[in-house]
């Protein structure tokens, strides 16, 4: 069941109205463009939740999803009328290669795979200025009960949108973050990790590696409005693939400009990003940073290597001869940075599906390094904590 309406309020306002619903998600195109930011999606109250932490997590999710996928009708009004929404952690990809350290316990509570099964989704079409409510009526078995469940869900959403209020608590994020964030590294330990990586590069083990550090802030004793924290994040760094997900024990927030994978029919697209410069505080400085990223041999080499890595990953599951680089290097402008990106496409083999594609490409090459597996081994050696959801993937 699908209903469409003229868009009269912003997507962030729609999300705020439903913010207190259980397991709410917001796939938020806060930097809108016709290609990558046309749609935003809001959903809540999944009829089932899958969470797991083992090497068979995706396989089990696939079996669970296959029970329902044929009951979801395709429509031109929204690419997500219903379905699964969630995340796959960075550690899932590392676990597949059997290189996850047993000694690292922090972030151990994060599932490798978490997805909610959402029978009802609100779609905001920024291009057509349209709001779409779609509902399948799952998990009801017979058509009559599905229609009745879908009708009730849509009526509930209509009523909430009309009222335009949410029951959120009046907590503020302002004033909370007064203490310093704590890094997982000391300064000396971080510099030591960088030097180790440079030694591995000099020895020829790797060409590049993406090192990271985790920052923690203890909010115990402080009432924090998570949605207001997210709104601050999207104000500071609007992106085509921002996201908010209430995963029960954890809330995940993201502001990412990077598309890891898109599968439309059998057409696969990935858009790796490598090479960054900040935006300037004035036009002269901004132009200098833009010139730097355009001309830097280092930035060009980084993106070239990762593009080739992703091309190889797609080649594992795509039809022979169909994988190609559509755009080698484009400089994209965001509120806080310039970012270099490429676009790689291919045609998925007929005997493969989205889960096979994920297995072939996880974790993303742009957040590991090149060669991928050796870079992952070095990351496990020098980073003191597990990454968990950080540098994993979110989507539907």
Per-residue pLDDT band for 330 (boundaries 50, 70, 90) equals very high
How far apart, in whole angstroms, are the C-alpha atoms of residue 387 and residue 390? 5
How far apart, in whole angstroms, are the C-alpha atoms of residue 244 and residue 258? 16
Tokens of 154: 């849509």
Task: Quote the pLDDT of residue 218.
Answer: 80
Q: Which of 18-27, 179-188, 385-394 has the highest mean pLDDT?
A: 18-27
Q: Which CATH architecture has domain 2-174+220-255?
A: 4-Layer Sandwich (3.60)
* More reliable by pLDDT, 86 or 140: 86
Tokens of 222: 């402080």
Total H helices, total E strands in the chain: 10, 20
252, pLDDT greater than 70: yes
What residues contact residue 236 under an 8 Å CB cut-off, 6+ apart?
255, 335, 336
Nearest to 365 by CA among 297, 316, 294: 316
Mean pLDDT of the chain: 91
Tokens of 117: 């099964």
Q: What backbone phi and psi angles, to 5 degrees, belong to 228?
A: -70, -35
Task: Quote the pLDDT of residue 217.
Answer: 85
Could you tell me where the beta strands, DSSP code E, fall in 53-119?
83-88, 113-118
What is the pairing mode between strands 48-52 and 113-118?
Answer: antiparallel
Please confirm, yes or no, whether 69 is among the known catalytic residues.
no
> pLDDT tens for residues 359-372?
999 999 999 999 99
Mean pLDDT of the 39-64 span: 94
Please confirm, yes or no, whether 359 is among the known catalytic residues.
no
37, pLDDT greater than 90: no
What is the pairing mode between strands 241-246 and 25-28?
Answer: antiparallel
Query: Which among 16, 274, 299, 302 is annotated as catalytic?
Result: 274
Percent pLDDT > 70 in the chain is 93
Question: By the 8 A CB rule, do 132 and 3 touch?
Answer: yes
Q: Do domains 2-174+220-255 and 183-214+258-388 have the same CATH topology?
A: yes
Per-residue pLDDT band for 70 (boundaries 50, 70, 90) equals confident
How far apart, in whole angstroms, are the C-alpha atoms of residue 390 and residue 212? 10
The CATH class of the 183-214+258-388 domain is: alpha beta
What is the pairing mode between strands 324-333 and 337-347?
Answer: antiparallel
> pLDDT tens for residues 91-120?
999 988 888 765 565 666 789 999 999 999
Q: What backbone phi and psi angles, to 5 degrees, belong to 72?
A: -95, 110
> Which contacts (CB < 8 Å, 24+ apart) does range 289-293 have?
289/338, 290/331, 290/338, 293/331, 293/338, 293/340
Residue in this structure with the two tokens 């009960």, named with its chain if needed: 145
Domain map of the chain by residue range? 2-174+220-255, 183-214+258-388
How far apart, in whole angstroms, are the C-alpha atoms of residue 24 and residue 10? 17
Task: Quote the pLDDT of residue 174.
Answer: 47
Could you tell me where the beta strands, DSSP code E, fall in the chain?
2-6, 25-28, 39-43, 48-52, 83-88, 113-118, 120-125, 130-135, 182-183, 208-209, 215-216, 241-246, 251-256, 262-264, 267-270, 273-278, 324-333, 337-347, 369-370, 393-395
32, pLDDT greater than 70: no
Query: Which among 16, 21, 258, 345 is annotated as catalytic?
Result: 258
Question: By the 8 A CB rule, do 347 and 267 touch?
Answer: yes
Residue in this structure with the two tokens 């608590």, named with its chain if needed: 169
Instruction: Report the first-to-last Cα separation within the chain, whole angstroms.
Output: 20
């Amino acid at each position: 069941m699908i209903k469409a309406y003229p868009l009269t309020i912003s997507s962030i306002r729609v999300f705020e109205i439903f913010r207190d619903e259980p397991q709410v998600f917001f796939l938020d195109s806060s930097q809108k463009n016709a290609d990558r930011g046309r749609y935003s999606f809001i959903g809540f109250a999944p009829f089932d939740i899958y969470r797991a932490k083992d090497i068979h997590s995706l396989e089990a999710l696939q079996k669970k999803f296959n029970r329902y996928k044929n009951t979801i009708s395709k429509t031109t009004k929204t690419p997500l009328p219903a379905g699964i929404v969630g995340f796959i952690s960075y550690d899932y990809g590392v676990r597949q290669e059997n290189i996850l350290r047993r000694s690292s316990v922090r972030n151990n509570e994060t599932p490798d795979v978490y997805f909610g099964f959402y029978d009802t989704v609100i779609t905001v079409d920024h291009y057509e200025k349209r709001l779409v409510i779609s509902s399948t009526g799952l998990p009801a078995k017979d058509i009559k009960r599905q229609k009745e469940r879908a009708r009730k869900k849509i009526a509930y959403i209509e009523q909430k949108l009309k009222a335009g209020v949410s029951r959120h608590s009046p907590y503020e994020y302002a004033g909370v973050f007064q203490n310093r964030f704590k890094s997982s590294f000391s300064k000396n330990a971080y510099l030591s990790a960088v030097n180790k990586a440079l030694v591995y590069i000099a020895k020829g083990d790797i060409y590049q590696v993406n090192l990271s550090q985790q920052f923690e802030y203890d909010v115990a004793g402080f009432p924090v409005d998570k949605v207001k924290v997210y709104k601050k994040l999207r104000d500071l760094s609007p992106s085509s693939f921002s996201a908010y997900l209430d995963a029960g024990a954890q809330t995940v927030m993201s502001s990412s400009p990077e598309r890891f994978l898109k599968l439309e029919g059998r057409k696969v697209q990935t858009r790796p990003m490598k090479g960054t410069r900040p935006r300037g505080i004035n036009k002269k400085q901004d132009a200098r940073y833009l010139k730097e990223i355009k001309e830097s041999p280092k930035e060009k080499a980084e993106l070239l290597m990762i593009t080739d890595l992703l091309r190889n990953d797609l080649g594992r599951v795509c039809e022979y001869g169909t994988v190609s680089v559509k755009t080698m290097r484009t400089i994209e402008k965001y509120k806080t940075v310039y970012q270099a990106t490429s676009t790689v496409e291919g045609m998925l083999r007929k005997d493969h599906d989205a889960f096979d594609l994920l297995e072939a490409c996880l974790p993303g090459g742009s957040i590991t390094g090149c060669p991928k597996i050796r870079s992952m081994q070095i990351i496990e050696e020098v980073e003191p904590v597990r990454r968990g959801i950080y540098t994993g993937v979110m989507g539907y």
